[in-house]
Structure 1
Amino acid sequence: MKKLFIFVLFIALGCAKSTNLAGEKCTDGKDNDGDGLVDCDDPDCVEDASCQAAMEICDDHQDNDGDSWVDCDDPDCYASAVCTASGEICNDRIDNDDDSLVDCDDPDCSTSAICAPDDEVCDDTIDNDGDGYVDCDDMDCTADIHCEQATETACNDLVDNDHDGLTDCTDPDCYEDLGCVRCNDQFTDVPTSHWAFDDIRALYVNGIVNGCSASPLMYCPASTMPRKFLAVMLINALGETPSSAGLNQYFSDTTDPVTTAAANRLYELGITTGCGTGIFCPDAVTLRRDAVTFIVRALGLTLSTAAADAYFDDVSGYSVPYINTAFEHGIAQGCGARLFCPDADLNRDAAAVFTARGFGITDAFCGL
C-alpha cells in the first residue's frame, strides 16, 4: 500500500505542468520563462497593463493604437459615431443603407470626418480639396499669405519682392517710383562716353544728387564742387537725416538751411570739424585731399599704414593715410602717373566717382 502511494505521487508530479517560478516580465525584452516568447508576445502577459492595446481615438488625426491607420481609416473606428452618418459606414466600400450610394458619395456621409475635403494648400500646385481649383485660384486661399495681392515693396534692392518675375524698375509696380522715373532721364552734358557717366547716373537715380540744372537736365561735371554741396552729397549717400541744429550751432559762417544741416551732421558724426576754428568754409571749393578724407571717415575704414610715397609722390601731411586708404579701396585713383594732386580743386565728376565707388552705389536696379 505504501509503495502504491509513492507510485501515484510520482506519476502526479511527473504529469504536472512545468512552470518558471520567476514568471515572464513583460517589458524587459527577455524570454524570462524560457517558452520562446518575449514580453507581450507571451500569453502570460495578456493581462499585463503594459501589453494592453491602445484604443484608437477616431477624430484626433493620430494613430493611437500604432496599427498605421488613423481615425476613420482604422477599422476600429468603422462603427464610431464620428465616422458614420445614419446607417452608412463611410469608408468600407459598401452601400450599407441600400440607397445605391457608397461611402462619401452618400449624402448621409456629408458630415462624416472621413469625408471632409482636405484643406487647400496654397503653394503646392495641387488641387488638395478636389474642387477643381489650384492654389491661389481656389477661393479657400483668398486670405493666404501666398495669395495676397503683392506689390514690389522696394524698387532699388535688386529683389523681386512680389515674386512676379520682375525686379525693381522692370516691374510695373515701380513705374512711378522716383528712382525708376530717373532711370529714363539723361543729363545733356554727360554723354555715355564720359569717364564718370556710370557713377554720375548712379548717384542721380538713387536721389543722391539732382544736377546743376533741371531744364535742360545738366550735371555740370567739369564745375568745381563747393564744400557745402559735397556735405549734402555725403549725407545723402550715408542715408543720414540732416542735423536739426541751428545755422550757427557749430560753424559761424553757415547761412543756408539745407547745406548747413548737412554740414552740421558731418560735424556730429565726427567726419569734419570744419576748415578752421568755428568755420566750415561752405562756399570754398573742396580739395581732393579733403574729399577722400571725408569719405574714408564716413565709411569708418581702417587707415592705411603704407608709406607716404607708396602709391603717389605728391602726398604729405595728415591726408597721407586717407589718400592711401582711398586708393587701396578703389575709391580714388589719382590724377596722373604716381600723382594724386591732393591740393587740386575737386570737380563734380570726380566727386561723383569718389562717392559712388566709396559707398558702392550703382544704377543696377534700373534694369536697363
Structure 2
Amino acid sequence: MSGNISLGRIGGVEVRVNWSWLIVLALIVWTLADGVFPSQNPRLSGNTHLAMAVVAALLFFASILLHELGHAWEARREGLEVDGITLWLFGGVSQFKGGFPSAGAEFRIAIAGPLVSLVLGVVFVLIAIAGLPSAVDGVAAWLGYINLALLVFNLIPALPLDGGRVLRAALWQSKGDLGWATRVGTDIGRVFGYLFIGLGVAMFIFQGSFSGAWLAFIGWFLLQAATAEARYIATEAALHGLRVRDLMVRDPVTVDGDLTVGQFMDEVARSRRFTTYPVVDGGRPIGLLAFGSVAALPRSEWDSRRVREAMLPLERVPLLTEDETAIDALTALSSPTSNRGLVVEDGHLAGLLSITDLTRALELRRSRPSTGESRPKLGV
C-alpha cells in the first residue's frame, strides 16, 4: 500500500500505518463520543465522553495490532519471513514472504489472530464487570464487545478472512490440492461479498442507516480481495519453480555515476539504447537511471548535471537476490514507480529484472498446470 508510515518494530516485526487509518480513527471517536458513550453513560460530561472515545479508539487499534502480531509471531515460528504489518482503512494486514509450508502451518497462523481477539475480548469483559468507575467500565465494555465481534466476523469462512484461511487449510489438508481449496474459499468470499453489499444497500435505502453503507463497503472489499486472492494463486501457479536467476538480464549495460548526462548520451545511450541503466560507483550499484528522466532534462543542463543527480537512488529501487522466487519479485516490482529492480549479491550487481520480464514469463507459462503455495496475506 502507498502512503504508509513506519512506526518501528515490535518483537522483530515492522509496523506501518496507512493514512486511511486516520479516517477510521476519527469516525470511531466521533461515533463513540456522540452516540455510544452518551447513551451508555449519560451521567458523564461531554468532555469525559470525548476522552473515553479517544482512549477506546486507540485501544481498539492496539487490539487489532495485537491480533496481527498473533499472526506474524506464529508465522515466524513456522519459519516464514514476515514482511510487516500495516494498519489501514479496514483494520490491519500482515504480509509474509514465501508460501505456507503446509496446511497445518496455514491453520495455526490463521487461527492465532482470532485467539488473540478472544483473549482480549474476555479480558475487557472481565474488567467491565469488575465494578470500576463508570468511565473505565464503559470503555472496557465496548472494547470487550468490539473484540468479540471482530472475532466472529473474522471467523466467517470466506477468503481472505481468517475463517476462510482456516477453511482452506482444512480443505487443503483433506484433498492435498491448494488450488482447489483456494477456489472454494474465494468463491465463498465472493458470495459473502455480494451478500453484504445487498444487505448494506437495503439497510441504507429502507432504514436510512449509515451502517448499511459501511456494510456494503465491507462487502465490496471482500469481493475485491477474494478476486485478487484467486488471481494471485493462479499467477503463483504459473510462475511456480521460477526464480529471479532464471529471468534476470545478466551483465546489463551500466553507467558510472560520475559521468555527466552529456557523456552518458554520447558514450552509452547513442550506441546502446535501453529504457533503464544500473548506475554504479566503483563496481557497486548506487541507483537506476531511466532514459526518460534524462530525455526530460533541458539540453543545456546535460554537461553540468551528473548521472547520479538524475538517477533514482538505491534506497528507492527494489533490491532482489538471485534465489528469490519469481512471485515475490513480481510483488516487489508491481508498483508503478518501481517496476524494475536490481539483482544484488554480496553488494555487487548480478543483474537487472523488470516487470516486463516477469509478465513475459507469466504469459508463456500461464497455460501450464502447476501447483503452488499461497503467498500469505492475513488481514482484519
TM score, norm. by length of structure 2: 0.22
- Higher strand fraction: Structure 1 or Structure 2? 2
Structure number with the bigger relative contact order (C-alpha 8 A, sep ≥ 6) is 2
State the structure with more CA Rg: 1
- Higher helix fraction: Structure 1 or Structure 2? 2
